[in-house]
Amino acid sequence: MNISKVPRWLRASIGLYLAAGLLAALGGCSNPQTPGFNGTINDANGIAVAAAGYYAGARIVPFAGLGNHAVTGVRVAPRGGAFNLADFARTQIEALAAQKGQYPSSTLAGVVTAIPYECRTGSGTIQWDDKDGDGKFSSGDTFAFAFNDCAVRDIVGTLVYNNQMTMTQFSLAGDPQGNPSDGWDMSALFTFNKLSVTEGQATRVYSGDFSFSSSTPDGVRETLGVTGTSLTGAANNAQDVLKDFSLNEKDDRAAFTYSFSANATLDSARYGELSIKSPSCKTGPCFSGTSPFDPSGGTMLITATDKSSVKMIVNSSTSITVEIDANGDGTVDTTRDTAWSVLSGS
């Protein structure tokens, strides 16, 4: 499968600012415990915990100021590295759509066809089960990917894949490779079986699954989502688990605006279990802003198991306020103003 055939504007279009926080920290931890964190959120660690909550998914789906911008094609390496799992997943759907029958299957339903995955070095294959026997990539088909030191050139550098993943519950209406104004609707369930991704000297291993969806009526206004029950990322002898996560975003490529919400439980080697909640755009002040800048509005509440918490309140695209409840009684004990740049460096 030739990823280079996918238009750069499409490959860079995963606004998906929402999950940059929620799935990227997965497997990014090298210290089993952060200094100053003993299970309680307090004034000493509040900003660091807020950063952990907000950026908990950056390796799955990039968001504001960290990821890709649908209009300009700007690509900034997310916090902790450039590879992003949802970006990777979406690219697979788009690349398959780009083939346009280059690998027709037998006309017999259920026949499995082997498709070569284009690797610069190493090897990769896709076992395509054409469920309806129509000889085309279509809704209901399943795809099993296998990689053996498969090196690919991404727009941010060279990545090396190993092990397996599957793409099922595949649905595609419209053509994301055709006229953008015609719109499209695509979704799939991705299951990772110790998928190993090496970027430079860093290797992360992913297990678990998530559902990805993207739809647009006109190629300008796009709704994106990532949901799942359990996804594990492991690196440096530590692992993080993202559980019961729901990440939703809307982008307007003409207005350069975005809005998103993110909810999950992060079981972190660094911080223990954290509950991460932000209001949906239908019920409260969800994160919103102008790309490619950080959000200019929105809130997020991160709560530890002892009920201590930190609430992150966005003031502008450059500043935020954190409210810390150290004893979990529902009363703010400490309020601190800080900059987005401080949060991203925590």
Alpha carbon dihedral 166, 169, 175, 176, in 10-degree steps, equals: -50
Task: Work out the number of other CB atoms within 10 angstroms of the CB of residue 108.
Answer: 9
Distance from chain centroid for Cα 74? 17
DSSP type of residue 19: G
Q: Say if CB 52 and CB 344 are below 8 A apart.
A: no
Tens-binned pLDDT, residue by residue, of the chain (346 aa): 443 333 322 333 333 433 444 455 555 543 444 545 678 999 999 999 998 888 775 544 444 333 333 322 333 333 344 567 777 777 788 777 776 556 665 555 566 888 888 899 999 999 988 888 777 788 888 999 999 999 998 766 788 999 999 999 988 887 666 676 788 888 999 999 999 999 888 888 999 999 988 888 988 888 888 899 999 888 877 788 889 988 888 888 889 888 888 888 988 878 889 999 999 888 878 888 888 788 899 999 999 999 999 999 999 999 999 999 999 999 999 999 999 888 876 6
Q: Name which of 49, 12, 18 is nearest 278 in CA terms.
A: 18
In the three-class reduction of DSSP (H, G, I as helix; E, B as strand; rest coil), residue 115 is classed as strand
pTM of the model: 0.81
Q: Can you list the alpha helix ranges (DSSP code H) found in 44-107?
A: 46-54, 85-99
Nearest by Cα to 224 from 2, 19, 80? 19
Q: Is 47 exposed, middle or buried (0-12, 13-18, 19+ CB in 10 A)?
A: buried
